[in-house]
Amino acid sequence: MYYFFKKQKGFVQARLGYWNNNTQGSNWDSNSYNLLLSLLWPISDKLKYNIFLDLTQQPFTHTWYNGATVDNIQGNPLVPQPKRRDQILMFGMQATYELFKGLEAGIHWYFIRDNSNIDLYNYSRHITGGQLAYRY
């Protein structure tokens, strides 16, 4: 769902999603339930600001198989493991500025938190960057 404002140059977005991952290996079979909330705010004719929050619940279908090698330590496939459950939070901000007609420069920062009951997939990270884009 979208709600547009400022002559459709800005919007509020809400999206619910469902994905089913049916993969070759059983470690990655899962369902994902997702909620996205986003705001695009045109501060001026040339400057736009975007902020979003993306929340995902991802329960995996099968018992997690720890047979992979991580940091040269072999997993033990005989030790019972739980079904993997991930809760993923993504939060991000970006700003874009139109330098010339069609040419935009942007900067962004994203924070990702994967809260998993399997230590290998339990992590946080920050992503920063910039871009130069031409839209015709």
The tens digit of pLDDT for each residue in 58-78 reads 998 877 766 554 444 455 666
The answer to the question of residue 2 being in a domain is no
CA angle 24, 29, 30 (to 5 degrees): 155
Q: Give the H/E segment covering residue 5.
A: strand 2-5
The answer to the question of residue 128 being in a domain is yes
The answer to the question of residue 7 being in a domain is no
The answer to the question of residue 62 being in a domain is yes
Instruction: Return the bridge partners of 127, or none.
Output: 110
The answer to the question of residue 74 being in a domain is no
The answer to the question of residue 93 being in a domain is yes
The answer to the question of residue 6 being in a domain is no
Please write the tens of the pLDDT for every residue from 106-131.
999 999 999 999 888 899 999 999 99
pTM above 0.85, yes or no: no
- Residues 35-54: what's their mean pLDDT? 97
> Which pLDDT value is given to residue 69?
44
Say how many domains are in the chain.
1
Report d(CA 127, CA 20) in Å as an integer. Answer: 27
The answer to the question of residue 121 being in a domain is yes
Domain of 46? Answer: 13-68+81-134
Own/partner pairs, 37-42, CB within 8 angstroms, 24+ separation: 37/12, 37/13, 38/11, 38/12, 38/13, 38/14, 39/10, 39/11, 39/12, 39/13, 40/10, 40/11, 40/13, 41/10, 42/6, 42/9, 42/10
